[in-house]
């Protein structure tokens, strides 16, 4: 196996876990239930499918065009590692404390606006709930200056996580009944711990790249 391909496949498990934690299908399922309350089974299915498809398109854009956006704005990778790590850490705190600050869920005003919309698939389901700040930051961190093979791998992993999200949405009622609010919160806290550790690692990587002397210290 070529060394480059081996390296890409080697990072796949960690990348998958990171995307799963950040997109957080378990945490999104109760929100989907609330936003689609009163809809028929067919309407919920259409809404879930459309929302996941739109989120996939948004993530794909950032996977393949994120590097160009970085270069156009003059943003260095070390700076984005640090900023992205801080953002992901704040999201991890939301998950650990089971609170909703708007980083990983819709705000109260956004939910009220969504309630007045006939179609909530685009807003707030696709953006900012599924393809939110954390997910967009993550795919850009994973793919920037990593080559086409890595970008394709991240796209495949993102689609896999989105497929899980779609399954969770379609089975939202049964999932909530089986896990209950306590069970969902426990899962969110466990995923929050993993995300916090990964976020700190991003910050460390950014600091080392910015200040090479730290690596040898």
Q: Are 130 and 59 in contact (CB under 8 A)?
A: no
pLDDT for res 84:
81
- Read off the pTM: 0.76
Considering only residues 169 and 11, tell me which one the structure prediction assigns the higher pLDDT. 169
pLDDT for res 153:
95
User: Is the pLDDT score of 1 beyond 50?
Assistant: no
Residue range 150-159, pLDDT digits in tens? 999 999 999 9
State the average pLDDT over residues 125-153: 87
Residue range 85-123, pLDDT digits in tens? 888 888 788 878 876 665 555 566 655 655 555 578 998
CA distance 56 to 3: 29
Q: Tokens 């854009």 — which residue? A: 61
User: Is the pLDDT score of 22 beyond 80?
Assistant: yes
User: Is the pLDDT score of 38 beyond 70?
Assistant: yes
Considering only residues 60 and 115, tell me which one the structure prediction assigns the higher pLDDT. 60
Torsion angle (degrees, nearest 10) of CA 22, 67, 142, 190: -20
CA distance 77 to 61: 18
DSSP per-residue letters across 56-109: HHHHHHHHHHHHHHHHHHT--HHHHHHHHHHHHHHHHHHHHHT---SSSS--HH
Q: What's the chain's average pLDDT? A: 82
pLDDT bracket for residue 177 (50, 70, 90): confident
């Amino acid at each position: 196996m070529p060394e480059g391909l081996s390296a890409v496949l080697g990072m796949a498990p960690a990348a998958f876990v990171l995307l799963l934690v950040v997109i957080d299908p378990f945490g999104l399922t109760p929100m989907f239930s609330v936003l689609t309350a009163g809809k028929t089974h067919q309407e919920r299915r259409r809404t879930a499918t459309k929302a996941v498809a739109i989120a996939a398109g948004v993530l794909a854009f950032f996977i393949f065009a994120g590097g160009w956006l970085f270069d156009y704005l003059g943003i260095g990778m070390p700076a984005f590692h640090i900023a992205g790590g801080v953002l992901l850490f704040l999201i991890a705190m939301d998950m650990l404390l089971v609170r909703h600050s708007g980083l990983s869920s819709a705000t109260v005003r956004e939910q009220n606006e969504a309630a007045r919309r006939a179609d909530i698939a685009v807003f707030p389901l696709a953006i900012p709930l599924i393809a939110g700040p954390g997910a967009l930051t993550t795919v850009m961190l994973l793919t920037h200056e990593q080559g086409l093979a890595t970008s394709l791998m991240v796209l495949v992993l993102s689609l896999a996580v989105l497929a899980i999200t779609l399954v969770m949405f379609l089975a939202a009622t049964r999932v909530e009944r089986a896990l209950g609010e306590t069970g969902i919160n426990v899962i969110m806290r466990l995923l929050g711990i993993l995300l916090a550790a990964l976020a700190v690692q991003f910050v460390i990587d950014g600091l080392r790249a910015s200040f090479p002397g730290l690596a040898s210290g």
